[in-house]
A and B are shown apart, each in its own frame.
Chain A
Amino acid sequence: MSPMRCVALLAGLLVVASALAGVSEDLPLDQRRSSYDDMGPATRAMQDADTDNPGMLWVLDGETLWRAKTGSAARACADCHGDATQSMAGVAARYPAFDPKRGGPVTLEGRINACRVENQNAQTLAYESRELLALSAYLALQSRGKPIAIDEKKLGETIAAGRDIFRQRQGQLNLSCAQCHDQHYGGKLAGNTIPQGHPNGYPLYRLEWQTLGSLQRRLRNCLTGIRAENHAYDSRELIALETYLKWRARGMLMESPAVRP
C-alpha cells in the first residue's frame, strides 16, 4: 500500500471513529436557544416581572429557610454561608459539580441535602418537597443572568454517560431524547413547540404543573412521555442526564426561576 493510501485510510477510519463516538453530533453552540425565545408574550411577561413570577413565592420561602436554624445542630445555612446574595452568586450555574467526597457528580439538591446531614444534623429533604424546591430556587436565583459553567475536566465521564442516555432510543415509543431535542426542535408535538431542552431556568414554574418543579421532575415527565422505564430521583442515570444537559447548555444564561408553559 502506498503511503498516500495509508494516510487516506487512516483519515477515513478517524472519521468513522469520531462519528461513532458522536463527537460531531452535539448541537452547534451558536444554534442553541433558550425556550424563553419560543414563549408567548404573556408567559414572558410573567417570567420577567418578579412580582408576577410565581416562582418567586418559593424564593421567598427559600430566603426564610436560609436563615432558619434547623436540625439538632441548630444551625442555619446563613450561619456558615452568610449572605446568599454574595456567597452563593453564580454557584447554581456550576451545578452538578464534582464532589471529591463522592468521587462523582452532585446536584444542587444533593448538595443541599448533604449539607443538611453533615453540617446541620438534619433530615434530608425529599425531592419536590416545598422546602427543597424553595431552597434550590433561592440559590438558583443568585445565579440568574450568569452563564452555565460545568467542570468538564472532572465530570467528563459523567457528561459522556449522560450523552449516551440522551442518544439511547428507549421506551415503547422507541425514541431518544436527541431525536426530539437535537433533531426536531422547533417542530410540534401535539400543540406544543418542541424545545431544545436546555436546563437554564430550573427549578422553574410550569403552568401545566401549576407549581415549581426540578429538572429531574421534568426528565421523569419526558421519560413517562416516551413510555420508558423511569429512573428514581437522584439516581445515577438522572444525575448523568442532568450533568450532560447542563454541559450542553454551557455558556447560556441562567433564568431561574423561569416560567414555562
Chain B
Amino acid sequence: MARALVNIPPKAKRGEVITIRTLMSHQMETGFRYSTTGAPIPRDIITTFIATYNGEEIFRAELFPAIAANPFITFTTVATESGTIELTWRGDNGFAASEQATITVE
C-alpha cells in the first residue's frame, strides 16, 4: 500500500510563494543490512521524486540509501496560475506512486 500525505494550499495569490509538504510511506531499505540468517537484504528505496505544475517540472529530487523511511520532502514554488500540481515518486522494484492536487490562483 503506497500511501502519501500531501499538503498543498488549495488557494493562493498570484506571485505568492507557497510551500508544498509531502510524506510518502516507504520502508527505504538501504541494502546494507543483513537478515538474522546473514543473508543481505536487497536495496529497496525511492530513487526519484518529481513535481510538475500544469505539466511543467518545477522540482526534482534524487534519493539515496541514507534517507530515512517514509521520506518527508518539502519545497517551495511560486503560484503562477490555477491548475494541477502532480507529485510522482519512483523507486526500486518498479515502485511508482503519484498524487495530485488542484490549486486556485487569484
| Residues on A facing B (Cβ under 8 Å) | 49-54, 56-57, 60-61, 64, 130, 207, 210-211
Contacts and interface: CB of A to CB of B under 8 A. Distances in A.
A61 B3 contact: yes
Contact of A60 (B3, B68, B70): B3
A48 to B, nearest CB: 13
A57 B5 contact: yes
Contacts of B6: 51
A165 to B, nearest CB: 28
B3 A57 contact: yes
Contact of A51 (B3, B7, B69): B7
B21 interface: yes
A211 B26 CA distance: 10
A211 B5 contact: no
A60 B1 CA distance: 10
A54 B7 contact: no
5 contacts: A51-B23, A54-B25, A210-B28, A210-B68, A211-B27
A49 B25 contact: no
Contacts of A53: 5
Contacts of B27: 211
A210 B23 contact: no
Contact of A49 (B7, B68, B69, B70): B7
Contacts of A54: 23, 25, 70, 72
Of all A-B residue pairs in the complex, the 9 with the closest CB atoms, nearest first, are A210-B69, A51-B7, A57-B25, A54-B70, A51-B5, A57-B3, A60-B3, A210-B68, A56-B5
Given A57-B70, A210-B69, 8 more contacts: A51-B21, A52-B5, A52-B72, A56-B5, A61-B1, A210-B68, A210-B70, A211-B70
